[in-house]
Amino acid sequence: MPRGSREGIVHAAKFRWAPWRERFESYIDRTPGFGPWGDCHRWTGPASGYPGNQYGRIMINKRYQRAHRVAWEIAHGRRFPRGKFALHSCDVGLCVNPYHISPGTQADNMRQAAERGRLDHPRQGPTNPARGVAHPNARFTNRDIAQIRLMHTRGHTIASLAHQYGAGWSTIDQIVKRKTWKHVP
């Protein structure tokens, strides 16, 4: 069997006999009132992520699977499309209601996140990513970047610039080679 395959989550016939199915169902709280519309199915089992951005997970055949994807596969009787993201219409990561989950692309996911204000930085998004000084982790100004590039063209080494600016060698190297801070002339 190929590495990374999900034996047991292939088609509807195997779902009936899967030993994990009962355990999976025991983790689902279908009490009304959870989520924005009150019809989310809350995952009460193990979760990964950080508070406010958690997703349920369950061990199946010695591998962790995302609970919302498993719920979708059970409801639809087929595997979740390869390479697709699971988009939650309710924006609740711990929701395993299969009718709140749909396959989509990374672009769909980012567009949905931007439209719903779920991105970490207000100026970040698929059409306006946070770059340069607008990025919350920026340590340099545009002037610093221009100065680093100018000093490098005048013979300063990457190591000396890294020491002078208190940055790592690879950070300065990427700035000089324009792999980062590309928008600064």
Shared domain check, 150 and 106: no
Domain enclosing residue 159, as ranges: 132-176
For 117: left if phi > 0, alpha if psi spans -120 to 50, otherwise beta; the answer is left
pLDDT tens across 8-45, in order? 444 444 444 457 888 898 899 998 888 888 899 999 98
- Residue 92 counted as domain residue: yes
Residue 182: both structure tokens together = 């590309």
Q: What percent of the chain lies above the pLDDT cut of 70?
A: 84
Shared domain check, 102 and 53: yes
Shared domain check, 95 and 32: yes
133-163 burial, b at 16+ Cβ within 10 Å, e below that, comes to eeeeeeebeeebbeebbebbeeeeebeebbe
Shared domain check, 103 and 32: yes
- Residue 42 counted as domain residue: yes
- Residue 1 counted as domain residue: no
- State pTM to two decimals: 0.56
Give the lowest-confidence range in 18-22, 34-38, 155-159, 171-175. Answer: 18-22
- Residue 23 counted as domain residue: yes
Shared domain check, 137 and 53: no
Shared domain check, 98 and 29: yes
